[in-house]
């Protein structure tokens, strides 16, 4: 009974939120019809991705390990965007749609962002796809988020939630850029699902799950476009890094946010440039820093192997440091 009450309250809150974002006077019936229309519009582009890998058991016997993901077509040529997959010889990739299975080969994969492009060996003559070049900006926190997943052996399944936040880290795990958190739980075989806004525009793809709070992280916006472009052109993604640990702290004086270096890796370009634990980064490439999210985003869109300018505050002294951006 308690679960039923919670579910009813959850759905009711979502419908209220949707009403606030919908046209004035929109009824619950029209909202429901809109959600059904979004599902019908995109469901045929969503697929299952099956990765079969041969491994040896403890007794030395060969066995096949099967990993199942979600994914979706992004062009008429049968290119599928999904979570990271092995690119070396050995694993067999198959894409399943409506009971039919198609052999696929990897175009490129990036385990850091957990994204990959794979290509059907012989795509069907006609297929539905989602144009990632038309992806919308991430809507503000509190907006409707709507995904279509391919869970286990079920057909394409819609899920509804809200945009919950934007973070560039989770606990001790640092992301390469800012991920968007949505209130949509990602279960078995649902990684790689497309996520849309209330207007049916793609806003991202699911890359990580947060089961403790029934949420997941998606890669969205400009970083998604950049990753797809690099996977197409070079089969991997270049991640520029400064080999140090950073922390965002609030100023006790004016409540502003500060990015502080907490550790510098030995023998790294960061150490050789003169960075020290305790330094506050004021600007990166002459752009003032306002948050750790912004810093990681700006770093991601820089070029590995190039030099960058950091303005730091050490004690009461400001100092400009030039540092080589290493490749992760």
> Per-residue pLDDT tens for 155-202?
999 999 999 999 999 988 999 999 999 999 999 999 999 999 988 999
Token pair recorded at residue 111:
């385990």
Beta carbons within 10 angstroms of residue 166's beta carbon: 17
- As a whole number, mean pLDDT of residues 86-106 equals 89
* Confidence tier at 250 by pLDDT (50, 70, 90): confident
Closest CA to 176 of 310, 298, 273: 298
How large is the greatest C-alpha to C-alpha distance in the chain, in angstroms? 67
**Model confidence at 96: pLDDT above 70:** yes
Closest CA to 105 of 82, 123, 87: 87
Q: Against a cut of 0.75, is the pTM above it?
A: yes
pLDDT at residue 205 in the model: 98
Q: What share of the chain is helix, strand, coil (3-state, %, to 5)?
A: 20, 45, 35
Q: Is 253 exposed, middle or buried (0-12, 13-18, 19+ CB in 10 A)?
A: exposed
Report the distance separating Cα 219 and Cα 221, nearest Å.
7
**Model confidence at 11: pLDDT above 90:** no
Q: What is the pLDDT of residues 66-83, one digit of tens each?
A: 999 999 999 999 999 999
Residues belonging to the chain: 328
What are the structural domains, with CATH classification, of the chain? 2-43+138-218 (2.40.10.10), 240-327 (2.30.42.10)
φ, ψ for residue 93 (rounded to 5)? Answer: -105, 135
pLDDT at residue 281 in the model: 96
Q: What is the pLDDT of residues 273-311, one digit of tens each?
A: 999 999 999 999 999 998 999 999 999 999 999 999 999
Closest CA to 328 of 310, 309, 302, 294: 302
* Confidence tier at 26 by pLDDT (50, 70, 90): low
pLDDT at residue 12 in the model: 47
Q: In this predicted structure, which of 9-13, 87-91, 133-137, 181-185 has the lowest mean pLDDT?
A: 9-13
Report the distance separating Cα 42 and Cα 45, nearest Å.
6
**Model confidence at 22: pLDDT above 60:** no
Strands (E), 150-239: 157-170, 173-182, 194-196, 202-210, 215-220
Mean pLDDT score of the chain = 89
Q: In this predicted structure, which of 10-14, 138-142, 209-213 has the lowest mean pLDDT?
A: 10-14
Report the distance separating Cα 43 and Cα 24, nearest Å.
28
**Model confidence at 87: pLDDT above 70:** yes
Report the distance separating Cα 109 and Cα 205, nearest Å.
14
Q: What is the pLDDT of residues 39-71, one digit of tens each?
A: 999 999 999 999 998 777 777 777 888 999 999
Report the distance separating Cα 81 and Cα 212, nearest Å.
26
């Amino acid at each position: 009974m308690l679960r039923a009450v919670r579910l009813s309250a959850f759905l009711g809150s979502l419908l209220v939120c949707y009403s606030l974002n919908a046209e004035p006077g929109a009824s619950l019936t029209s909202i429901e019809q809109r959600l059904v229309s979004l599902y019908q519009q995109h469901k045929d582009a969503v697929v299952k991705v099956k990765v079969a890998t041969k491994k040896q058991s403890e007794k030395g016997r060969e066995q096949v390990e099967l990993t199942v993901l979600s994914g979706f077509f992004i062009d008429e040529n049968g290119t599928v965007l999904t979570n990271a997959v092995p690119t070396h010889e050995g694993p067999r990739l198959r894409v399943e749609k409506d009971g039919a299975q198609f052999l696929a080969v990897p175009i490129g994969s990036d385990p850091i962002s957990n994204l990959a492009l794979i290509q059907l060996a012989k795509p069907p003559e006609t297929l539905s796809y989602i144009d990632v070049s038309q992806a919308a900006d991430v809507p503000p926190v509190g907006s409707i988020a709507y995904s279509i997943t391919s869970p286990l052996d079920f057909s394409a399944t819609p899920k509804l939630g809200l945009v919950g936040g934007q973070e560039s880290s989770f606990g001790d795990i640092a992301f390469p850029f800012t991920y968007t958190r949505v209130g949509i739980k990602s279960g078995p075989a649902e990684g790689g699902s497309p996520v849309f806004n209330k207007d049916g525009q793609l806003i991202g793809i699911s890359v990580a799950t947060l089961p403790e709070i029934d949420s997941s992280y998606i890669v969205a916006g400009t970083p998604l476009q950049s990753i797809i472009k690099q996977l197409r052109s070079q089969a991997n993604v270049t991640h520029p890094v400064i080999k140090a640990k950073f922390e965002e702290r609030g100023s006790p004086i004016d409540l502003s946010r500060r990015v502080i270096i907490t550790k510098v890796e030995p023998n790294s370009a960061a150490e050789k440039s003169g960075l020290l634990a305790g330094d506050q980064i004021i600007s990166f490439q002459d752009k003032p820093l306002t948050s750790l999210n912004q810093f990681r985003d700006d770093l991601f869109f820089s070029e590995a192997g190039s030099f960058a300018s950091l303005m730091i505050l050490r004690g009461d002294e400001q100092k400009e440091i030039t540092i080589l951006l290493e490749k992760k």
